[in-house]
Chains A and B, each alone.
Chain A
Amino acid sequence: MDKAIVVNNLTKRFGNFTAVDNISFEVEKGEVFGFLGANGAGKTTAMRMLCGLVKPTLGEATVAGFDIRRQSEKIKKNIGYMSQKFALYEDLKVWENIKLFAGIYGIKRKEIIPKTNELLAELGFESERNTYVKELPLGWRQKLAFSVAIFHEPKVLFLDEPTGGVDPITRRQFWEMIAQTAERGITVFVTTHYMDEAEYCNRVSIMVDGKIEALDTPRALKERFNSNSIDDIFYQLARKAQRQAD
């Protein structure tokens, strides 16, 4: 199994509205895959289907080798998830958050303590062990949330706009963390609104009105569209959208 994600003709309709319209793509193991699209383009719905939260109307897909229709429980055990909205439980302390999610993913108690220490040391957060998450600056929270999302060694990591509202320095550090994660063989599936971040991805796809309009390495895309920035390509494609962003 070298493909982390395989998507074949995936469609999701809500009544008359086709949120995701017949998309197909594959993501290699250990790849950083950028999933771009304007608000309302269908990114979130596609991601929710891959996480096993929503059943597709048509088509198939596998994540980490498991079928999204029939094996959503197995998928949930093998993925990590982090979103911009989610910055851990604010009224829990740093170590309580780590312990909670470790417990949810069934990590054994005696493994949790050394792994927690290791994680805090890596982030340089040792002194913040007993701090409430609400007292941490946003950038720190996002880094911590990221570490918690990969705490259980998932095969695929889904990041939903992970750097929203974070300062440029932290964003940079964040992408370093993503690169290190990919080097460990964890596939990273990431959505973002920052087009400069697309440059850090191995490949990017651009979604417009529920369809994937472009999918390639950043360099190949730039050659094909004869442009020198992903931002420009995104603008060319997204401008054609018929749908209103929500």
Chain B
Amino acid sequence: MKKLFPFIKKEFLHVLRDTWTMMIILVLPVVMMLLFGYAVTNEIRDTNIGVLDLSKDNISASIIERVQQSEYFTLKHNYNSYHEIEPSFRKSEVGLVVVFDEDFSNNLLHKGKAELQIVADATDPNTAKTLVNYISSIAAQSLMELNKNNPKPMQITPELKLLYNPLMKSSYNFVPAVMGFIVILICTMMTSITIVREKERGTIEMLLVSPTKPIMIIISKLSPFFVVSIINIITIFLVSYFIMNVPVLGNIFVIGGVSLIFLLVALSLGLLFSTIAHSQLEALLYSGMIFLMPTTLLSGMLFPIESMPLFLQAIAQAMPAKWFIDAMRKLMIMGVDAKYVLKEVLVLTFMAITFMTISLKLFKKRL
């Protein structure tokens, strides 16, 4: 143990003195959080909309008011007939139009059911879908208030129920994804690069001919990135909780525990790539292109796994980040009990043990 200390100190000095590494480590997580939170967001704000209100009564007026008040929409046009709608879309004046037909209130009051027509510009289907969902949920909210004083509940179709993220705030969802990405980036990529750097420069020879045990070299190499990743996860937590107001519903210790297991998986993968690669560039290629890219695309960080083709879904199961993000979304946003993430924890633990064993064996053999 006494011999381990100078090694660990050396590794920390390497990291602390490398300006680029420090930049990546300290600035990147915050930049990514802000980017995902405010710029690259699925949330749509200030969309111009139009309304064709043929019903012209209290109920439609109250729904329109509500829509106007929301931060997502700006009411640009009040149409008088259907004919005005299409030209308005063509001129890109509006992205969405809500139509209340003549019988809207009538149907609602007497049949207890009415149809709300939503016309959306579907050039960008994702945006359109999001907008439609916003409108539906606003309409549903207006209705809920009306229903309060009404013994006979009324209904607007399409009925939409959004769980956990009622206004589909994307910031809720991307926080676990950014955590997963940062951990992979720092633990896997930076670890593999620093170990290979020492191979490339030949300094590792010096350590190998010294009475140091390989395991000590490994522990000391991994320790700065382990510590840094813990700091990063905490930073991401604080930024998301205090600045972005993302609720952290689950048990903080369970969240911490799952993060630690994921850290080990990421570190052992970094070790694995470093044993395979011969140059820093090669290490970057393995961890960046072959691993980080599929992780970003397939782990559900950006795109939902459910909507992928089957064979990609199968590949997604092999992504450690997928399991981490799943567990984190459940724990942080849904606030479930630890037992509901048991499957994710088991898969991650299995991955950690497997990768660690393989990379330790390879590391000793290769050197």
State which of B5, B7, B206 has its C-beta within 8 Å of the C-beta of A86.
Answer: B206
> Knowing A89-B10, A91-B17, A96-B13 touch, does A101 contact B210 (C-beta < 8 A)?
yes
Q: For chain A residues 72-107, which have a beta carbon within 8 Å of chain B?
A: 73, 76-77, 79, 81-83, 85-86, 88-89, 91-92, 96, 99-101, 103-106
* Complex: chain B residue closest to A103, CB-CB: B6
| A104→B14 contact, CB < 8 A | no
- In the assembled complex, the Cα of A51 lies from the Cα of B367 at a distance in Å of 13
Residue interface bits B18-57, CB-to-A below 8 A is 1, else 0: 1000000000000000000000000000000000000000
A-B contact count (CB 8 A): 64
Give every chain A residue within 8 A of B160 (Cβ-Cβ): none
State which of B7, B205, B211 has its C-beta within 8 Å of the C-beta of A83.
Answer: B205
| B210→A105 contact, CB < 8 A | yes
Q: Is B201 an interface residue (CB 8 A)?
A: yes
Q: Is A53 an interface residue (CB 8 A)?
A: yes
* Complex: chain B residue closest to A82, CB-CB: B206
Q: Is B302 an interface residue (CB 8 A)?
A: no
Q: Is A52 an interface residue (CB 8 A)?
A: yes
Give every chain A residue within 8 A of B5 (Cβ-Cβ): 103
| A104→B6 contact, CB < 8 A | yes
| A85→B10 contact, CB < 8 A | no
Q: Is B58 an interface residue (CB 8 A)?
A: no
| A83→B210 contact, CB < 8 A | no
| B210→A76 contact, CB < 8 A | yes
Q: Is B3 an interface residue (CB 8 A)?
A: yes
Give every chain B residue within 8 A of A82 (Cβ-Cβ): 206
- In the assembled complex, the Cα of A101 lies from the Cα of B207 at a distance in Å of 9
Give every chain A residue within 8 A of B206 (Cβ-Cβ): 81-83, 86, 101
Q: For chain B residues 202-220, which have a beta carbon within 8 Å of chain A?
A: 202-203, 205-212
Give every chain B residue within 8 A of A77 (Cβ-Cβ): 211
| A106→B13 contact, CB < 8 A | no
- A169 shortest CB reach to chain B, Å: 25
Give every chain A residue within 8 A of B9 (Cβ-Cβ): 100
Residue interface bits A144-157, CB-to-B below 8 A is 1, else 0: 00000000000000
| A104→B209 contact, CB < 8 A | no
Give every chain B residue within 8 A of A92 (Cβ-Cβ): 10, 13-14
State which of A52, A76, A86, A105 has its C-beta within 8 Å of the C-beta of B205.
Answer: A86
**What are 15 residue pairs bridging A and B, where the CB atoms are less than 8 Å apart in the complex?**
A53-B209, A81-B205, A81-B209, A85-B205, A89-B10, A89-B14, A91-B13, A91-B14, A91-B17, A92-B13, A99-B6, A104-B3, A104-B6, A105-B210, A106-B211
The 7 closest A-B CB pairs, nearest first, are A85-B202, A103-B6, A81-B209, A76-B211, A77-B211, A51-B209, A104-B210
